[in-house]
Amino acid sequence: ADLNLQAIHDELIQVAYEAGKMMLAANPANIDTGTKLNSVDIVTEVDKGVEKMVSTRLSAAFPSISFMGEETYKPGMRIGPEPTFVVDPIDGTTNFIHSFPEACISLGLAIERIPHVGVIYNPWQDLLYTAIKGQGAYMTRVRGTTPQKLPLAQTPRPISGLGSSLVAVEWGADRHGANFDVKTAVFRQLTASRDIGGSMCHSLRSLGSAALNIAAVAAGQLDCYWEGGCWAWDVCAGWAILNEAGGRMAGGNPGQWDPALEERVYLAVRGAPSGQKELVEEFWGVIGDGRL
Ligand code: IPD
């Protein structure tokens, strides 16, 4: 209850910069790579090394705060109401091993299962996104320069429906069965011309990192981001940032983001003076009841 969120935020930024150094120092050509669920669900020794550094530093600085990280997660673990760091050491591991410069560390703090602090850092672009609940969201482009408030446009445009939106989606690691069928059908529906029943959004984007997609929505660079199958560590930090930027996280199962749950559908919508709610409804119309 009497946690100093500012001190936590400041430490998370230092930890993020340290993680960034480890990522930039790694040579993707000769890092040890393994897989988890299948051949496209990739983990590297760098993911594990960064998570170890992060958990060691955070447990030394804030011993009373619990920790959940992607690489030490075991099925059945849950996020409780107690303050918990929710960490993805490298979000965008696939990009990382291909040297595609969109990957980041995602550091969140949840209290009562609600994201309170978020820090996301992409070391390849030297882009830092941060937020503390109730205190706004910021982006720092190049370390040491003045943070810019999010969303970047001082007056965000109203949202006028899917038809004029730039939408982020991801393929994720699930490549078979109902999940894959729904995903590919939704991609088609989103892009198809209206005369064949689609919503013909301006286009689709996939940064390859859930956290960076959410950060781009918070910045107002994307109108929305939809994915089924994200994990708590993919979304916790981004969610804190999105909320503070006036955005909104909707889900087929809103707020039920515990990793133990099967249904983890997220729709992040940018801040706007109007049209957020309508976009969410239009989106659910496209994907049926939002189930995967
Ligand atoms: C993944 C990335 C990817 C998204 C997956 C995530 P990882 O995280 O964010 O873009 O589609 O759902 O699990 O494995 O790179 O940490």
State which amino acid sits at residue 46.
V
β-pair partners for 131: 118, 137
For residue 207, give the ligand 1 atom closest to its CA.
10
What is the overall mean pLDDT for the chain? 91
Cα(197) to centroid(ligand 1), Å:
30
Residue 133 CA, ligand 1 centroid: distance in Å? 24
153-211 tens-digit pLDDT: 888 899 999 999 999 999 998 899 888 888 899 999 999 999 998 999 999 999 999 99
Closest by CA to 147, choosing from 10, 271, 1, is 10
- At residue 189, the pLDDT reads 93
Contact between residue 267 and residue 148 where contact means Cβ atoms under 8 Å apart = no
pLDDT digits (tens, 9 = 90+) for 31-62: 888 888 778 787 889 999 999 999 999 999 99
| Protein residue with least CA distance to atom 11, ligand 1 | 172
Q: Locate the ligand 1 atom nearest the alpha carbon of residue 171 and give its number.
A: 11
Quote the ligand 1 centre to 173 CA distance (angstroms). 8
For residue 116, which of 280, 246, 237 has the smallest C-alpha distance? 237
Q: For a pocket test of ligand 1, which of 180, 209, 217 has the largest count of ligand atoms closer than 8 A to its C-beta?
A: 209
Q: Is 70 annotated as a binding residue?
A: yes
Residue scoring higher pLDDT (106 or 39): 106
Q: Is the CB of 229 under 6 A from ligand 1?
A: yes
What the chain holds in terms of domains, given with CATH numbers, is 5-150 (3.30.540.10), 162-286 (3.40.190.80)
Is the pLDDT assigned to residue 129 strictly greater than 90? yes
90 labelled ligand-binding: yes
Quote the ligand 1 centre to 29 CA distance (angstroms). Answer: 20
For residue 174, what pLDDT is reported?
A: 85
Residue 82 is encoded by which pair of tokens? 């107690």
User: According to the model, what pLDDT value does residue 257 have?
Assistant: 62
The pLDDT value given to residue 1: 55
pTM for this predicted structure: 0.95
- Cα–Cα distance, 49 to 71 (Å, whole number): 10
91 lines ligand 1 (CB under 6 A): yes
196 carries a ligand binding annotation: no
Find out whether the beta carbon of 172 lies less than 6 Å from any atom of ligand 1.
yes
Atom index in ligand 1 nearest the CA of residue 93 equals 15
